[in-house]
Structure 1
Amino acid sequence: MQRRIFLLGSAAILLLPVSANADTGTHATLYKNPQCSCCEGYADYLRQNGFQVDVKPTNDLAEISRKAGVPAELEGCHTTFIDGYVIDGHVPVNVVRKLLTEKPAIVGITLPGMPMGSPGMAGTKTEKFVIYALTKDGKAPTVYATE
């Protein structure tokens, strides 16, 4: 009986770190226009890269972006919130991970518009993507990364 308890206890100890360290993915909430399909493509792209994504259709996307600190001229196609940051538009996941790793003192980042070939968008990339940092102090956005 003691041997069985020992073996079961040992098995439980060996399995515990695996379940305790299982990566469930970083949570993201993506707000999008109800009729937009490329936003669903971006949500799928994030999921394929390990994020847990809740998609929330809204007719108030411009207001959500504005309240998050995204200037109208730099709005992307959808607005995503991850770990306290706003990620607006079709930002490549390596830039999102850079943001989450570096944790700069900014509101978030944006890739304005709907560039061809960006994650979730159809077509071939035809231009360099310029991702802007959105500041907390009201100063003009700066370039955060280029792709």
Structure 2
Amino acid sequence: MTKNLSIKSLRKAASGMTLALLAACTTAVSAAPIVMYRDAGCGCCLKWADHAEKGMDRTITVKDEANMRARKTALGVPPMLASCHTAVIDGYVIEGHVPAADIKRLLETRPAGVKGLAVAGMPIGSPGMEYQNQTQAYQVIAFGTEAPRVFASYN
């Protein structure tokens, strides 16, 4: 009976340690940094990075990229959705001035067929493109294995 009790105790301890390790791994994944590629001369990219860091409570690693077109092509950004900077987070591609709230929703819902989100161009009033309280309407587009579709709209 003592053997059974110690085996049960060991199994319980092993189960507890497994759960603790899984929780630690989950926390590590959710805190994964964002890597942002940008042209070294672009200042709005750094403003977007500040917005995303604060809005997502994650660190952003900024990498200056000499050939942004090649980087975007390698990451699968559709040319019609291109902007000034491209970020990668948890396997998703974030193109341009996508609000942090939309990135959070993407990471929470993980919709099938979506490889990333994009805000094409540099619309005034989008995160990092704030200017004298002016705004342009813009859309956040989900892209991936299916046709691009609207993920969020801003007026």
Match of 1:40 among 25, 37, 46: 46
| 2:83 matches 1:76 | yes
The count of corresponding residues between Structure 1 and Structure 2 is 126
Alpha-carbon separation, structure 2, partners of 1:61 and 1:109 = 17
What TM-score comes out, normalization by structure 1 length? 0.77
What TM-score comes out, normalization by structure 2 length? 0.74
Deviation at 1:22, TM superposition (A): 8.4
CA distance 1:25–1:107, change in 2 (3 Å):
same
Q: What's the counterpart of residue 122 of structure 1?
A: 130
- Checking the alignment, whether the CA contact within 8 Å between 2:87 and 2:93 is kept in structure 1 is yes
CA distance 1:70–1:125, change in 2 (3 Å):
farther
- Checking the alignment, whether the CA contact within 8 Å between 2:38 and 2:64 is kept in structure 1 is yes
Tell me, which stretches of 5 or more residues in structure 2 are unaligned?
Answer: 1-23
Aligned-residue Cα RMSD (Å) equals: 2.1
Alpha-carbon separation, structure 2, partners of 1:78 and 1:72 = 13
SS of the residue corresponding to residue 80 of structure 2 reads: helix
Deviation at 1:142, TM superposition (A): 1.2
Deviation at 1:48, TM superposition (A): 1.7
SS of the residue corresponding to residue 49 of structure 2 reads: helix
| 2:34 matches 1:28 | yes
Alpha-carbon separation, structure 1, partners of 2:126 and 2:59 = 20
Quote the sequence identity (%): 36
Q: Deviations over 1:25-57 (max 9, x none)?
A: 441000000100110111111122212100000
SS of the residue corresponding to residue 44 of structure 1 reads: helix
Alpha-carbon separation, structure 1, partners of 2:134 and 2:107 = 25
Greater helix percent: which structure? 2
Alpha-carbon separation, structure 2, partners of 1:22 and 1:70 = 28
Alpha-carbon separation, structure 2, partners of 1:37 and 1:117 = 15
Match of 1:89 among 96, 116, 125: 96
Aligned AA (1:114)? M
